[in-house]
Amino acid sequence: MSMGADFVNRTTELATLQKWFERPGPQLGVVWGRRRVGKTYLLAHWAKAKRAIVHTARNRPPGEELAALSAAAAPVLDLPLRDLRTRPFVDWDDAFDCFATAAVSEPLVVVLDEVPELLPANPGFESGLRAIWERMGDRRLRLVLCGSAVRTMEALQAERAPLFGRATLRMQVRPFGPHEAALMLPRLTPDERARAWGICGGSPFYLSLWDDGATAAENLTELFGSEQALLLNEGSFLLATEDFAGGRRERLPEQVLRALAAGRSRYGELKQSLGADPARPLAALQELGLIDRVLPVAGKVDPRLAYYRVADNFLAFWLSVVEPHRSMISQRLGSSLAPLLLHQLDHFMGQRWEEAFRAHLVRVLADDPRVQPMTGIGRFWRQRVPPGEDPCELDAVGLTGVERRVSLVGEAKWARQVDGGRLVRQLQRKVVEAGLVTAAHPEPVYAVCSRTGVAGELPPRTVVATAADIF
């Protein structure tokens, strides 16, 4: 999200926050998202030109938490009859009464970050806040509750929760898409940006650590090549701290992720690997956006033949490429690590490049009448194929309208250059053999993609994409 001293991306989120801020009366907002997606930086950037108190909870005892909040509030409120440094808030009623009084004539923004850290030591926080909110009147208080524990933050908004129906802003902050991640790496070439995104994913934190003035080998050595490297232990940290259902005790979600990284992607394979039913951890990981359940996007689908994949780029890279070399790093052989990681990177980038390609197609064809209204996009393959027959795998199939007509088919290759004409002929053959198009339907739009160039003679309905277009 940051690029030196600049702030990039998040234009939609900033506009949403500003529109919410300008509403009359008191406003309660809930902002949540996974760790490392830049929620705190976003809110701090938005609030910096406003009269705002930003406080991050740390699971302190109530008195210490309120003292820290008082210290953050003191320079903003500048109360004539009370020095909050020497007379801090005595309880949350006191704090919110003070905020409400300060918001009579002009808006006051209060951001409470990492709210889940407050709840263990303050079990009545939600009920107390509801009671305070109901007597807020027309005060111009804008209270933002923010947190990384996704399940806890969503539970705050559940139907039976004390704050249900009070929030006028509900915002989930998600990782950057490929074109957004590119803005954080302006000095890299497009294919180098693609590689950095493949490793770092859409996390602003990881992208900010990638030095766009250094080579990929230098970055890999710096970030992973020693026991002190900033991201060497990051995967372990994520697995230990993510808000998994059952994750802290059973550690089944972690076992699922490791099994997926080892290539066991089917439900039965996961069940055999865990020695337990993987349904619950799979659901938790999907809810967090860490894994995807993948089925063909078109045709007759057998849900029993779904497979799963690690969706988060960084976690997938850490589990499948970095962690197997941990013993080598502990033996201080990290200087030899970068060539090994780079050797594996081209294979790793295959699925990530396809994902970036699909995201690009959605973005650039959003208003194209040939594919609108687009109702789905994803991979396709024939699920039950006799021996010797082509499964007709397609990297991108777009569907249009309520009838879910196939209107787009595409292929992405993590190669510097491809023969686009040959790829289109293959796509034309596959859609016919798979029964995805008929004479009654218009010919789909074709899309072909490589890192730097697409050669050959192409039909007029062909979309071409390279790293320069996507990143």
Provide the CATH number for the domain around residue 286: 1.10.10
Closest CA to 42 of 54, 28, 27: 54
Let me know whether 165 and 193 are in one domain: no
Last residue of a domain, one of 329, 350, 371: 350
pLDDT at 5 over 50: no
| The residue to which tokens 């009269």 are assigned | 51
107 and 210 belong to one structural domain:
no
Residue 265 CA neighbour count, 13 Å, CB half: 15
Token pair of 223 as six digits: 């970030």
Q: Residues 443, 437: contact at Cβ < 8 Å?
A: yes
| 200/327 same-domain check | yes
Give per-residue burial for 242-258: e unless 16+ CB within 10 Å, then b. bbbbebeeeebbbbbbb
Place of tokens 């080598």: 328
Same domain assignment for residues 397 and 375 = yes
CA distances from 178 to 181, 466, 468, 469 (A): 5, 12, 11, 10
Q: Indicate the residue among 302, 329, 350 that finishes a domain.
A: 350
Q: Please indicate, yes or no, whether residues 324 and 448 belong to a single structural domain of this protein.
A: no
Q: Is the predicted pLDDT of residue 3 greater than 50, yes or no?
A: no
Give the pLDDT score at 79. Answer: 87
CATH number, residue 368? 3.40.1350
Q: In degrees, to the nearest 5, what angle opens at C-alpha 470 toward C-alphas 469 and 471? A: 100
> First and final CA of the chain: distance in angstroms?
16
Residue ending a domain, choose from 146, 172, 198: 172
User: Do residues 431 and 384 lie in contact, with contact meaning Cβ atoms separated by under 8 Å?
Assistant: no
- Read off the pLDDT of residues 258-289 as tens digits, 9 standing for 90 and up: 999 999 999 999 999 999 999 999 998 998 88
Three-state DSSP state, 90: coil
pLDDT, one tens digit per residue, over 126-136 is 998 999 999 99
Residue 450 clears pLDDT 80, i.e. is over it: yes
Same domain membership, residue 189 and residue 152: no
| One domain for residues 341 and 399 | no
Task: Determine if the peptide bond prior to 178 is cis (ω within 30°).
Answer: no
Q: Specify whether 124 is located in the same domain as 84.
A: yes
pLDDT of residue 300: 87
Which residue, chain included where needed, has tokens 């007709």? 392
The reply to whether 116 and 230 lie within a common domain is no
* Mean pLDDT, residues 446-461 taken together: 95
Domain encompassing residue 307: 179-350
With a pLDDT cut of 70, the percent of the chain lying above it is: 97
Beta bridge partner(s), residue 208 = none
Instruction: Please count the CA atoms within 13 angstroms of the CA of 9 that sit on its side-chain side.
Output: 25
Strand 453-455 with 169-172, pairing:
unpaired
Long-range CB contacts (within 8 A, 24+) of 87-94: 90/66, 91/62, 91/66, 92/66, 92/122, 92/125, 92/128, 92/129, 92/132, 93/128, 93/132
pLDDT at 246 over 60: no
Among the listed residues 201, 398, 391, 192, the one whose alpha carbon sits nearest the alpha carbon of residue 305: 391
Do 80 and 104 share a domain, yes or no?
yes
Looking at the structure, tell me whether residues 382 and 319 fall in a common domain.
no
What is the arithmetic mean of pLDDT over 390-399? 97
The average pLDDT across 374-401 equals 94
Task: Give residue-wise pLDDT tens across range 68-93.
Answer: 999 999 999 988 889 999 999 999 99
Q: Which of 390, 452, 395, 383 is nearest to 423 (CA)?
A: 395
Closest residue by Cα to residue 206 from 220, 217, 192:
220
Beta partners for 141? 108
pLDDT of residue 248 exceeding 60:
no
Give me the mean pLDDT over the 42-71 stretch.
95
DSSP string covering 139-174, please?
--EEEEEEES-HHHHHHHTSTTSTTTTT-SEEEE--
Specify the number of domains making up the chain.
3
The residues near 418 (Cβ < 8 Å, ≥ 6 apart) are 448, 449, 450, 453, 454, 455
Q: Where are the alpha helices (DSSP H) in 39-173?
A: 39-47, 62-77, 92-102, 125-134, 150-156
Report CA 239 to chain centroid distance, whole Å: 16
Q: Is the pTM of this model over 0.75?
A: yes
306 and 220 in a common domain = yes
Question: Of the given ranges (15-24, 166-175, 322-331), which has the lowest mean pLDDT?
Answer: 322-331
